[in-house]
Amino acid sequence: MSGQEKPRVLFAVAGVGLGNATRSEAILRELGDVDVRVLSFGNAVRHLRRSGATVWPMLPLLLPGGALDFLWKMPLNLVVWLVNMLVCFVAIVRFRPRLVVVDSEYSVILPALLTGRRMVGINGAALVEALWPRMKRPGLGWSYWGREWWDARIARVFHTTLTPTFSSEIPLPEGHVPVPPIVRPLPAGRSEEGGILVLRGGSLHETPLTLPADVELTEIGGRNVVDDSLERIARASIVVCQGGFSSLSEVLALGKKALVAPLPGHVEQEFNARVLEEMGAVRVFDG
């Protein structure tokens, strides 16, 4: 593209946990000769900057620890949401991207619509919706109706929705394109050293396990972030992890045996684990 301005792409990445950040890192590495800016918050800012991305930080959401905690934090999170929408609007006006990529950071949607930008979403809610009639179970209704169902409705504003999936045979609505799991470049030439690795990732750290002293526990989200999670997975013989799509994708891409403990009450993680269990790829921890 000599003599021409590079196409501009704005990535809006949710900073809760690290799953969105790691798969966005993998996508950013493959974009080639494109001028990219990232909007995010939390640990995703540090992680993506470390990978070489130019990141404009936003305000972090206040994560609730229960029903009462949710109620008093809700007005504060509304303020955070409004401020982040303003940040996104200014970023779009100043950067003038040709494309806005939305990975679960929805404060960018209204500014993108108001400025007439084309949007591509990275979103798995339609997959959860397709699986709900067959896989629903008691205790998951709040997560499904309160988050995933609405998430699938929001995804309809995107011009195209990329849906990472472990099985391309699951039917998706029009405008949704199934894509294989998105993983970062994997370490090469590492021999298996054995041992059990527990990846306690995400934002809530609620993997329901009591661990013996000789089991390695690695925090990859929340307040503790390691920079060598892929290398640690490569050295393990067995990996215990939650049901986040990105974690499972990288564990399986490295050919590891996996014991999966979905985050309690998270329908997406439960379905990820069950789909892979049906395929014989993992075992699910139920207690």
Residue 3 lies in a domain: no
| 21-42 average pLDDT score | 92
Residue 236 lies in a domain: yes
**175 plus 56 within the same structural domain:** yes
Residue 111 lies in a domain: yes
Indicate which CATH number applies to the domain containing 254. 3.40.50.2000
**163 plus 22 within the same structural domain:** yes
pLDDT score for 139? 87
Name the 3-class secondary structure at 113.
helix
Name the 3-class secondary structure at 228.
coil
Of the candidates 159, 120, 165, the residue with the CA atom closest to the CA atom of residue 11: 120
DSSP assignment of 169-224, as one string?
A: TS---TTEEEEPPP-PPPP-SPPP---EEEEE-TTT--------TTSEEEE-STT-
Name the 3-class secondary structure at 111.
helix
**75 plus 211 within the same structural domain:** no
Q: Do 92 and 10 form a contact (C-beta atoms < 8 A)?
A: yes
> Tokens at residue 173, please?
């609505």
Nearest 5°: the CA angle 117, 120, 161 is: 140
| 76-92 average pLDDT score | 95
**214 plus 142 within the same structural domain:** no
Tokens 């003038």 belong to which residue?
96
**33 plus 173 within the same structural domain:** yes
Average pLDDT of every residue of the chain: 86
Residue 44 lies in a domain: yes
pLDDT score for 207? 45
**225 plus 253 within the same structural domain:** yes
Of the candidates 236, 148, 141, the residue with the CA atom closest to the CA atom of residue 195: 236
User: Residue 120 forms beta bridges with which residues?
Assistant: 101, 160
Count CA within 13 A, CB hemisphere, residue 189.
0
Residue 17 lies in a domain: yes
**Number of compact structural domains in the chain:** 2
Residue 191 lies in a domain: no
**58 plus 118 within the same structural domain:** yes
From 179, 204, 224, give the residue that closes a domain. 179
- Which is more confidently placed, 64 or 249? 249
pLDDT digits (tens, 9 = 90+) for 147-160: 999 999 999 999 99
> Tokens at residue 85, please?
């929408």
From 121, 145, 179, give the residue that closes a domain. 179
**165 plus 210 within the same structural domain:** no
What is the biggest distance separating any 2 CA atoms in the chain, rounded to whole angstroms?
61
**84 plus 210 within the same structural domain:** no
Residue 200 has pLDDT above 70, yes or no: yes
pLDDT score for 166? 93
From 179, 211, 241, give the residue that closes a domain. 179
Give, as one character, the DSSP assignment of residue 104: B
Residue 147, judged by CB atoms within 10 A of its CB (0-12, 13-18, 19+), counts as middle
Q: Do 152 and 126 form a contact (C-beta atoms < 8 A)?
A: yes
Q: Do 215 and 56 form a contact (C-beta atoms < 8 A)?
A: no
Residue 186 lies in a domain: no
pLDDT score for 86? 97
Least confident window among 3-12, 45-54, 189-198, 200-209: 200-209
pLDDT band at 206 (very low <50, low <70, confident <90, very high): very low
pLDDT score for 222? 53
| 248-260 average pLDDT score | 92
pLDDT score for 205? 42
Residue 113 has pLDDT above 90, yes or no: yes
Q: Which of 61-70, 113-122, 169-178, 196-205 has the highest mean pLDDT?
A: 113-122
Residue 119 lies in a domain: yes
**pTM for this model (two decimals):** 0.88
Q: Do 104 and 15 form a contact (C-beta atoms < 8 A)?
A: no
Which residues, including other chains, have CB under 8 Å from residue 160's CB and lie 6 or more apart? 120, 121, 175, 177
Residue 63 has pLDDT above 90, yes or no: no
**86 plus 204 within the same structural domain:** no
Domain, as residue range, for 200: 196-284
**215 plus 162 within the same structural domain:** no
**154 plus 61 within the same structural domain:** yes
Of the candidates 141, 138, 130, the residue with the CA atom closest to the CA atom of residue 165: 130
- The CA distance from 23 to 165, in Å, is 13
